[in-house]
Amino acid sequence: MKKIQIINGPNLNLLGKREPTVYGNSSFEGYLQQLKEKYPQCDISYFQSNTEGELIDKIHEVGFDFDGIILNAGAYTHTSIALHDAIKAVTTPVVEVHISNVHTRESFRHISMISAACKGVILGFGLESYRLAMESFL
Ligand code: DQA
């Protein structure tokens, strides 16, 4: 069974409540349940933190024996060289995802510090960005 880790960064615990016109009305927990039902052949783990170091610790923890990491680093995407280095340090491939199309938004969201360390990037498809990332690991 493929082991996939989904990691959500800061403010993504508020999905469903947070800026619904940008991020939608669904909580992540509900969507995660749908993903688990859609991919019974995968063991999907979920972790969310608002703290940069905890995201790095999770990448270290799973990054040598999981088959894939799906990472929405939230705003740390645009700032964190430490996350870039953590992704480079592990052997598990990481797919960067974003719910919104960051390129249609403020210019500070146009830069990703982590894309160059990732296997690929999926953005702009709402929560379906996570499903598309799942497909990339099958
Ligand atoms: C986001 C986009 C980021 O710019 C923002 O800081 C987020 C969410 C997205 O999923 O669209 O927190 O990663």
Per-residue pLDDT tens digits for 83-92: 999 999 999 9
Q: Does the model's pTM come out above 0.95? A: yes
pLDDT, residue 26, reads: 87
Residue 32: other Cβ atoms inside 10 A:
17
How far does residue 131's CA lie from ligand 1's centre (Å)?
Answer: 17
| Banded pLDDT at 24 (limits 50, 70, 90) | confident
pLDDT digits (tens, 9 = 90+) for 105-124: 999 999 999 999 999 999 99
pLDDT at 81 over 90: yes
Atom of ligand 1 nearest to the CA of 97: 10
Q: Is the CB of 80 under 6 A from ligand 1?
A: no
- Write the DSSP string, 62-94: HTTT-SEEEEE-GGGGGT-HHHHHHHHHSSS-E
* Distance linking the first and last C-alpha atoms of the chain: 11
Q: Can you tell me which residue has the tokens 């480079």?
A: 88
pLDDT, residue 19, reads: 87
